[in-house]
Amino acid sequence: ETGVTQTPRHLVMGMTNKKSLKCEQHLGHNAMYWYKQSAKKPLELMFVYSLEERVENNSVPSRFSPECPNSSHLFLHLHTLQPEDSALYLCASSPALGDEQYFGPGTRLTVT
Amino acid sequence: EDQVTQSPEALRLQEGESSSLNCSYTVSGLRGLFWYRQDPGKGPEFLFTLYSAGEEKEKERLKATLTKKESFLHITAPKPEDSATYLCAVRDPQNAGGTSYGKLTFGQGTILTVHP
């Protein structure tokens, strides 16, 4: 595997389900990010981690819970989501905070 | 609040018809402007970083330039495979505490379609 990988690529979940998104970076980077991309809206930054420490929580509802167990892996735990949470969720990494970011392919989430 | 505005929202070109995309920003103390390309259903792909006015970078048919208020992505003799959404983003300046979270503020993108 190279670059940034994300699983699953597609996810359909009900409003009462609990699921997790996984991101792995194979670039040796120190910073990782979660973004939400909705139709016709700019990319929205959700969370930032640097060396496994969360440095930004961009006013994200508590039904989204990030976890960064090491500098190569990032998770986004989801529970009791709303239909408006349906979007493309993108993970990115960068060599350090502020450097150019490299994105994964995203997880297309649909909440029914 | 930092703002990034891209224009036009959509651009249709014939193959070989050169044009430019615009990214204007309002941020004091710019610490980097980034260009990305995004294909449908995929994550953005990093293209360029520009740091100071007058700086230019090139890659194949793309050339990015930067002034104090805006950046242009020039596309010379485009091909159908250049069709994509082009995103620009600015890096926030340092916060008052002297540390930077490296937060990027993205524009809405320009959807480029190149017809053969």
Kindly report, residue by residue over A52-100, the tens digit of the pLDDT.
888 877 789 999 999 999 999 999 999 999 999 999 999 999 998 888 9
**Which of A41, A97, A105 comes nearest B102 by C-beta?**
A97
> How many whole angstroms separate alpha carbon B27 and alpha carbon B66?
14
Give the per-residue pLDDT at B8: 97
The residue with tokens 């961009």 is: A58
B94 to chain A nearest CA, in Å? 10
- Asked if residue A48 lies in contact with residue A59, where contact means CB atoms within 8 angstroms, the answer is no
Mean pLDDT for chain B overall:
90
A10 to chain B nearest CA, in Å? 11
Most A CBs within 10 Å: which of B30, B106, B108, as the mutation test of the A interface?
A: B106
* A30 three-state secondary structure: coil
pLDDT in tens, B40-93: 989 999 999 999 999 999 999 999 999 989 999 999 999 999 999 999 999 876
**Which of A41, A43, A48 comes nearest B101 by C-beta?**
A48
A76 to chain B nearest CA, in Å? 17
Spell out which residues of chain B touch residue A58, defining contact as CB-CB under 8 Å: 103
Report whether the peptide linkage leading into residue A95 is cis, meaning its omega lies within 30 degrees of zero: no
The residue with tokens 């909440």 is: A111
pLDDT above 50 for B96: no
Sign of CA dihedral B17, B23, B24, B30: negative
* A84 three-state secondary structure: helix
Mark yes or no for CB contact A48/B34 under 8 Å.
no
User: Chain B residues within 8 A (CB-CB) of chain A?
Assistant: 4, 31-32, 34, 36, 41-46, 49, 87, 89, 91, 100-109
Length of chain B: 116
Question: Between B97 and B35, where is the model more confident?
Answer: B35
